[in-house]
């Protein structure tokens, strides 16, 4: 029984430290230094503890297996949590087939999105390009709204770190 408990502790420790690593990496990329440092403190403590348990017993392949499974599971859990908390800002560029999209633009603005319209030229003539800066957690709402009006819209999204100005509204769900 205590042997199984040991494997479970290694597995769960690894899940926790890799999950923390994923979230810490997000904090680093977004410039959240204090949060990244705090998470990193706990992450490395858990990591060293789990690793020492495996390295001190290399004759037990099940400990290594628990360690490896914990790593894989931690990646999955970390990415899942990161997608749920959806921190950060995005810039979406929406390229529409036609240049008459007043209803879509009005709907986006009515739903709290700031929209800048740029005139573009595509292979088949003029097109409107909509630039929208948004909170990452609002991306699904943006896509749903755009596809209601233009199911063939081409949407690209990039992570951004706004410097100043602009319009960011939290969309109410």
Residues 104 and 149 in one domain: yes
* 122-148 residue pLDDT tens: 888 888 899 999 988 899 999 999 999
Q: How many domains does the chain have?
A: 2
pTM of the model: 0.68
Per-residue tokens: 145: 């709204």
Residues 79 and 8 in one domain: yes
- Domain extent for 39: 2-85
* Side-chain-side CA neighbours of residue 100 (13 Å): 0
Q: Is residue 153 part of a domain?
A: yes
* 53-108 residue pLDDT tens: 999 988 999 999 999 999 999 999 999 998 888 788 889 999 987 767 889 999 99
């Amino acid at each position: 029984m205590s042997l199984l408990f040991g494997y479970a502790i290694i597995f769960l420790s690894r899940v926790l430290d890799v999950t923390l690593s994923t979230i810490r990496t997000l904090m680093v990329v977004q410039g959240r230094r204090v949060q990244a440092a705090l998470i990193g403190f706990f992450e490395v403590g858990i990591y060293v503890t789990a690793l020492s348990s495996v390295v001190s017993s290399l004759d037990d392949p099940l400990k290594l297996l628990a360690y490896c499974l914990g790593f894989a599971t931690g990646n999955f859990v970390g990415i899942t949590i990161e997608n749920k908390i959806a921190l950060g800002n995005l810039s979406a560029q929406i390229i529409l087939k036609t240049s008459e999209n007043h209803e879509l633009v009005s709907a986006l603005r009515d739903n709290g999105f700031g929209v800048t319209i740029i005139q573009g030229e595509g292979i088949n003539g003029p097109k409107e390009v909509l630039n929208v800066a948004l909170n990452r957690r609002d991306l699904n709402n943006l896509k749903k709204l755009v596809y209601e009006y233009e199911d063939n819209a081409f949407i690209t999204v990039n992570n951004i770190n706004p410097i100043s100005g602009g319009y960011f509204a939290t969309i109410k769900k």
